[in-house]
Amino acid sequence: MKHGISLLLIEDNRLLRNGIAAMIAKQPDLRLTAALPRLDLARLRSPDIRPDIVLLDAALPNHDSPGAVRTVKLLAPHAKVIVMGLLATQDDIVEFVKAGASGFILKDATFADFARTIRAVSRGENVLPRATTRTLFAQVATDAVARGEKRALSALRMTAREREVVTLICEGLANNEIAERLGISSLTVKSHVHNILEKLALRTRLQIATYASRTSPPTPHPSSSASEGLVRPQSPG
């Protein structure tokens, strides 16, 4: 690219804004056109800026984050947007993508990853954090449920044992009670709960129960083998 990738940085934290700007200045193929502390509509409209990519803080004060992405895309439709944030849930990422973002970069990423994301997005790629892309398929199922497709839960590759655990969570049983009912260890139940939360992109047992009641999951076959419970222990969900 003859003049490099032109960037507009919008970040309200002065130290971080200046630090990112200084690191960008060292890259021969990256060119910072402006570094702003807020979503400045007049500057976005300015023909003097016309960035290829807008680096947008996910937590700008007084702004709905997906709304900020939509505003940038409206005023600078030629620009691609990379959202920068410290934390992002699965739902957050989906909303950013729906609003028009082409990428999301965690603020605790290395600058090498940061620069790679910029270059990849400039080539037309969509870049999301690995931790979120692992469970993006769960959003497809959630959207299917919203459309009334009641069999979506069974499409999430849940094992028979995981469906049994979901059923018992819906009955209000604690982990030790589920373990006793199924004849497996409490540690194995915790592992199943962790896997279920990840597959459904949920955070709490209550959300599992709510999701399951909405989707009417099929009753597990009574002949499901107890050996399915022997899953490598993971951190509790």
Per-residue pLDDT reduced to its tens digit, 111-132: 888 999 999 999 998 887 665 5
pLDDT at 139 over 80: no
* CATH code reported for the domain at 5-129: 3.40.50.2300
Confidence of residue 110 (pLDDT cuts 50, 70, 90): confident
- In angstroms, rounded to a whole number, what is the distance separating the alpha carbons of residues 213 and 132? 25
Q: Average pLDDT, whole number, for the chain?
A: 76
* Per-residue pLDDT tens over the stretch 82-94: 999 876 676 778 7
- The pLDDT, as a whole number, for residue 10 is 94
Q: What is the pLDDT of residue 163?
A: 84
Q: What is the mean pLDDT of residues 6-34?
A: 92
Residue 98 has pLDDT above 80, yes or no: yes
In CATH, what is the architecture of 136-229? Orthogonal Bundle (1.10)
Map out the domains of the chain as residue ranges.
Answer: 5-129, 136-229
Angle between helices 186-200 and 160-170 (to 10 degrees): 90
5-129 and 136-229: identical CATH topology: no
**What percentage of residues in the chain have a pLDDT greater than 90?**
27
- Say what angle helices 160-170 and 205-215 make with each other, to 10 degrees: 100
Alpha helical stretches, state H, the chain:
14-25, 41-45, 65-75, 90-99, 111-122, 130-133, 136-146, 160-170, 175-182, 186-200, 205-215
Q: How much is the average pLDDT of 148-177? A: 73
Output the pLDDT for position 121.
93
Q: Is the pLDDT of residue 211 over 60?
A: yes
Cα separation values, 10 from 20, 82, 98, 184, Å? 11, 10, 20, 52
